[in-house]
Amino acid sequence: MTRGMAHKSTVEQADLDRLQAHLEEHFQPRDHEEAQELILGALQHVQHEFGWVPLEASQAIADHLGVSVNRIYGLLTFYADFRTEPPGEHFMLLCHGAACFVGGSQKLIHELRDNYGIGQGGTTADGKLTVQIVNGCLGVCDLAPIVQFDHEKYVGNLDVDSFNAAIEEITANGSQREDHGAD
Amino acid sequence: MVLTDRAAFDAHAARVRAEFESYTSDSEWTISVCVSEDSKAKGVLDTFEHLRFRIESGDIEARLRTTGGGGWAWADPSIIVSGPNHPAVLYGNVGSDDVPGLVAALASGHTYDAGLIGAFGESDTLPAVADHPYFKLQTRLLTQNWGMIDPYSIDDYIANDGYAAWIKALFDMTPEEVVDEVKASGVRGRGGAGFPAGIKWESGRRAQARPKFMACNSHEGEPNVYKDRRLIESDPHRILEGIMLGCYGVGAERGYNYVGGEHLLAVERFRHAVNEAYRLGLLGDNILGSGVNCHIRLLTGGGAYICGEGSALMYSVMGERGQPRTKPPRSVEEGLWRRPTVLNNTETLAPVPDIIRNGGAWYASLGTERSTGTKLVSMQGPLARLGVVEVEMGVSLKDILYETYGGMAEGKTLKGVQTGGVSAGPLLPDQLDVAVDFDSLQQYDCMLGSGGFVVFDDSVDAVEFGRYLMDFNRWESCSKCTPCRLGNKALVEVVDRILNGRGQERDMQLIESTAKHVMELSLCGLGQVAPAPLIGMMRCFPEDFEARIDAASEPIEAGEQQRFVIPLAAVGA
Ligand SMILES: Cc1cc2nc3c(=O)[nH]c(=O)nc-3n(C[C@H](O)[C@H](O)[C@H](O)COP(=O)(O)O)c2cc1C
Ligand code: SF4
Ligand code: FES
């Protein structure tokens, strides 16, 4: 889908039309069992394109796959990766796996709280940065503690100062990539 | 191109083998750049672009290709070079700044000494990779193709005996014989519990209901391990072939792979591998005219650690919240869509192609009697060298730590090694001379688990680390049953009290008794071990806890900032 949809906090009919077309092309279940297997994938697709999962998109998926939107809401609240609010301009994954913990990721989480006023899932007041704290391991432990910006840029071996510098650098940068990580 | 019969496959295999061999022939330079999620984080794509620029500018005539990561994260960005009078050589830490020097050296017929790690083949003048301390203890079976083949190329895999086991099974073996070889191999589940895979396959084979399913667990949501995603990233077809052989063995026409959604590159490469296998006709209906059907579906997780648990994984595949259920029935009786489903960890399936090609007895000769084969180990923490390594079962953990990983990083003092992920306690420095296998670690109330070890130094406080591990389990609890949902929360609160300087002597007993309740009464494997790391920290480092509790008897000064560790959930926006 096109660039520009990424930061939208509201959803327009054109977006939903594109989503509908995508569902019809790529999410075509052969039976009701397969329809259910496709729900999470369809939601992941939406989050990948929109950066979050708007209610209208959930409804479209529910209608397309023949399940209730309540069930979809149950999934969105269970799986930690899903966001039901639009993210900020930039997106940061903060690894809080064991290696990063041993390397001091707790200090970075404290810094987010004290200096930026945000915690898990939060967005800074200026709307520039959303943080997701990852309980698992990002798999790049030799650079621990590490963060990943906008699903592509890693900054590792962090202490509080370099962490702040990295955030400053990324938020000074206006635009973001058009996609949002895994689909 | 679709291959339609066995002869067509054999002809194709011969052709791609010749092509692959040319990569290490001495007529032409070949530079292979090892690309993994890890090396990407270290700028390997810059190295690649600089190399391409040099080649395009005519500084050297060479073929440039990408391969998967080698597991040697400490040496990334890394490349493998072969060429005229130059055996395949591994160079490490090749940043884009190194490229001009490297290219100049190669073009004038020399090696580039700055990053040289060693030669893979025979060489009179160069050190052998196998003698490097990082490789010395390793037995590279599951990792044999890592760094060598392009994970996007099914032909590279086929050129290295890939899918030969699949062909052998389809045409020369009955499903029962496939199951028998896996039984004979003695391979035990690498997902944590160590259950013999062959026995699980046999139960699946015997199950009456139809259809049946095979499933691979690549969720890997633990905070201490990164081996399954590397298996997929570096050699996706090996895992795919393992699942396919499982399908054939148990009599399933459909297999699933459930990969953690945050393992982006693994997801991408596995998806590509499945498409390639369909394209060549190795998946589909009536494969190569054998009459066998096999289909594979890929699903990705949503960041819930509990979805690694077998029954939760299956609910997640079925588009439900991933909450475990009571057993029986076990999933080999009632799994996906209430049909018999055989679930194995990625690493359990990874050696299956070799087991089918070389026989179960051959595999059983590796490792120890009760823990056969090799084990991937991923150590984390302040070590000299990090990465994924593969050793035969039974190698001493101490040797792995001090030789393979090079010991502690400069200036760091070892305090302990956390084992079993978030499901067991730590080892003390004087307990490290223990064999890496399924049983030996138990003497210290520790666990092999998924083979992830967290080395920590004396800057880490055992109360805070115990709290961290406890909080992980509390946060990842699916909330289905009360002991886990409330008990783990209560445990975090007690530790917080100690950390806040208000702990009392009896809090230690309170932790012990609450932990006992949680472990005895919880429904699934998460709750049943959730407090174990905290209990382990208390057992190994009582002085850290006592110091906090003793200090707590002093009055808290007015206005003093309370120190506490933030619970992940509580600070949400
Ligand atoms: C909370 C929890 C998380 C688990 N996570 C994983 C995982 O990420 N990967 C995995 O293979 N097994 C995991 N397991 C173990 C699986 O339930 C199951 O035993 C395993 O996948 C079976 O494969 P195996 O016999 O080949 O080990 C987990 C178990 C529990 C209780
Ligand atoms: S023990 Fe915990 S994770 Fe397991 S079912 Fe109960 S609440 Fe869920
Ligand atoms: S623990 Fe953070 S990258 Fe592995």
B3-21 pLDDT, tens digit per residue, is 999 999 999 999 999 999 8
Residue contact B300–A41, C-beta within 8 A = yes
Give the ligand 1 atom nearest the CA of B200: 25
**pLDDT tops 70 at residue B437:** yes
Is A27 in the same domain as A101? no
- Which residue from B299, B475, B570 is facing A40, i.e. has the nearest CB? B299
Residue contact B221–A136, C-beta within 8 A = yes
Q: How much is the mean pLDDT over chain A?
A: 90
Q: How many domains does chain A have?
A: 2
Residue nearest ligand 1's atom 22 by CA: B344
Band of residue B559 on the pLDDT scale cut at 50, 70, 90: very low
Is the beta carbon of B422 within 6 A of some atom in ligand 2? no
CATH code for position A117: 3.40.30.10
| pLDDT (tens digit per residue) in B233-269 | 999 999 999 999 999 999 999 999 999 999 999 999 9
Is A125 in the same domain as A68? no
In a domain, B306, yes or no: yes
In a domain, B464, yes or no: no
Query: B161: burial class by Cβ within 10 Å (0-12, 13-18, 19+)?
Result: middle
Examine the fold and report which residue of A27, A47, A78 is the final residue of a domain before the chain moves on: A78
In a domain, A83, yes or no: no
> Which of B228, B325, B342, B345 is the best mutation target for the ligand 1 pocket, counting ligand atoms within 8 Å of the beta carbon and taking the most?
B345
**Region B515-541: what's the mean pLDDT?**
97
Residue contact A33–B337, C-beta within 8 A = yes
What does pTM read for this prediction?
Answer: 0.95
Is A74 in the same domain as A129? no
- Which residue from A75, A96, A182 is facing B262, i.e. has the nearest CB? A182
CATH code for position A28: 1.10.10
| pLDDT (tens digit per residue) in B307-363 | 999 999 999 999 999 999 999 999 999 999 999 999 999 999 999 999 999 999 999
In a domain, B158, yes or no: no
Band of residue A3 on the pLDDT scale cut at 50, 70, 90: very low
Give B454 to chain A, closest Cα distance, Å.
Answer: 7
Examine the fold and report which residue of B124, B139, B162 is the final residue of a domain before the chain moves on: B124
Distance in angstroms between the alpha carbons of the first and the last residue of chain B = 53
Give the ligand 1 atom nearest the CA of B525: 31
User: What is the C-alpha to C-alpha distance for residues A38 and A44, in angstroms, rounded to an integer?
Assistant: 10
Give the ligand 2 atom nearest the CA of B324: 5
Is B180 in the same domain as B323? yes
Give the ligand 2 atom nearest the CA of B482: 7
pLDDT value, residue B557: 53
pLDDT value, residue B27: 75
CATH code for position B565: 1.20.1440.230
Least reliable range by pLDDT among A163-167, B124-128, B182-186: B124-128
Give the ligand 1 atom nearest the CA of B260: 8
- Which residue from A79, A101, A120 is facing B572, i.e. has the nearest CB? A120
User: What is the C-alpha to C-alpha distance for residues A10 and B434, in angstroms, rounded to an integer?
Assistant: 58
Backbone angle region of A176, left / alpha / beta, with phi > 0 → left and psi within -120 to 50 → alpha: beta
Which structural domain, as residue segments, surrounds residue A123?
Answer: 90-173
Ligand 3, residues at Cβ distance < 6 Å = A 95, 97-100, 137-141, 144, 146; B 223
Q: Which residues of B touch A74 (CB under 8 A)?
A: 321
Is A15 in the same domain as A72? yes
Is A68 in the same domain as A99? no
Q: How many domains does chain B have?
A: 4
| pLDDT (tens digit per residue) in B122-167 | 788 899 999 999 999 999 999 999 999 999 999 999 999 999 999 9
In a domain, A178, yes or no: no
Which structural domain, as residue segments, surrounds residue B76?
Answer: 6-124
Task: Mark which residues 5-24 of A lie under 8 Å from B by CB.
Answer: none
**Region A82-89: what's the mean pLDDT?**
94
Is A130 in the same domain as A150? yes
In a domain, A179, yes or no: no
Examine the fold and report which residue of A38, A54, A78 is the final residue of a domain before the chain moves on: A78
CATH code for position B437: 3.10.20.600
pLDDT value, residue A182: 44
Give the residue, B35 or A181, on which the prediction is more confident.
B35
Q: Which residues of A touch B566 (CB under 8 A)?
A: 106, 109-110, 113, 119
Give the residue, B229 or A4, on which the prediction is more confident.
B229
- Which residue from B223, B319, B569 is facing A98, i.e. has the nearest CB? B223
Is B337 in the same domain as B215? yes
Is B57 in the same domain as B196? no
Q: Which helix (H) or strand (E) holds B239?
A: helix B236-250
Give B229 to chain A, closest Cα distance, Å.
Answer: 8
**Region A67-77: what's the mean pLDDT?**
97
**pLDDT tops 50 at residue B512:** yes
- Which residue from A44, A74, A109 is facing B321, i.e. has the nearest CB? A74
**pLDDT tops 60 at residue B556:** no
pLDDT value, residue B81: 94
Is B268 in the same domain as B218? yes
By percentage, how much of chain A surpasses pLDDT 90? 84
In a domain, B304, yes or no: yes
Residue B439 CB neighbours (<10 A) = 12
Is B358 in the same domain as B399? no
In a domain, A131, yes or no: yes
Is B417 in the same domain as B486? no
Q: Tell whether A110 lies on the interface with B, counting CB pairs under 8 A.
A: yes
Is A63 in the same domain as A108? no
CATH code for position B232: 3.40.50.11540
Is B303 in the same domain as B423? no
Band of residue B554 on the pLDDT scale cut at 50, 70, 90: low
Judging by DSSP bridges, how do beta strands B414-418 and B387-392 pair with one another? unpaired
Sign (positive or negative) of CA dihedral B505, B508, B514, B517:
negative
Residue contact A139–B568, C-beta within 8 A = no
Is A49 in the same domain as A106? no
pLDDT value, residue A147: 97
Is B77 in the same domain as B212? no
User: What is the C-alpha to C-alpha distance for residues A97 and B468, in angstroms, rounded to an integer?
Assistant: 10
Band of residue B573 on the pLDDT scale cut at 50, 70, 90: very low
**Region A69-92: what's the mean pLDDT?**
95
User: What is the C-alpha to C-alpha distance for residues A73 and B159, in angstroms, rounded to an integer?
Assistant: 47
Is B313 in the same domain as B229? yes
Q: Which residues of A touch B297 (CB under 8 A)?
A: 37
Q: Tell whether A83 lies on the interface with B, counting CB pairs under 8 A.
A: no
Residue contact A98–B74, C-beta within 8 A = no
pLDDT value, residue A174: 65
**Region A61-73: what's the mean pLDDT?**
97
DSSP-derived secondary structure for B389-451: EEEETT-BHHHIIIIIS-SBPTT--EEEEE-TTTTS-EEPGGG---B-STTGGGGGT---TTS
Structure-token match 């003695």, residue found: B186
**Region B101-127: what's the mean pLDDT?**
91
Is B511 in the same domain as B431? no
**pLDDT tops 70 at residue A8:** no
Measured in Å, residue A140 CA sits from the centre of ligand 1 at: 22
Is the beta carbon of B371 within 6 A of some atom in ligand 2? no
**pLDDT tops 70 at residue B562:** no
Measured in Å, residue B256 CA sits from the centre of ligand 1 at: 15
Backbone angle region of B17, left / alpha / beta, with phi > 0 → left and psi within -120 to 50 → alpha: alpha
Give A57 to chain B, closest Cα distance, Å.
Answer: 17
Give A113 to chain B, closest Cα distance, Å.
Answer: 8
Is B297 in the same domain as B327? yes
pLDDT value, residue B129: 95
Measured in Å, residue B455 CA sits from the centre of ligand 3 at: 13
Is B80 in the same domain as B199? no
User: What is the C-alpha to C-alpha distance for residues B69 and A78, in angstroms, rounded to an integer?
Assistant: 33
pLDDT value, residue A7: 53
In a domain, B163, yes or no: no
Examine the fold and report which residue of B106, B124, B142 is the final residue of a domain before the chain moves on: B124
Examine the fold and report which residue of B93, B124, B155 is the final residue of a domain before the chain moves on: B124
CATH code for position B19: 3.40.30.10
Examine the fold and report which residue of A27, A51, A78 is the final residue of a domain before the chain moves on: A78
| pLDDT (tens digit per residue) in A26-44 | 999 999 999 999 999 999 9
Q: How much is the mean pLDDT over chain B?
A: 94
Residue B469 CB neighbours (<10 A) = 29
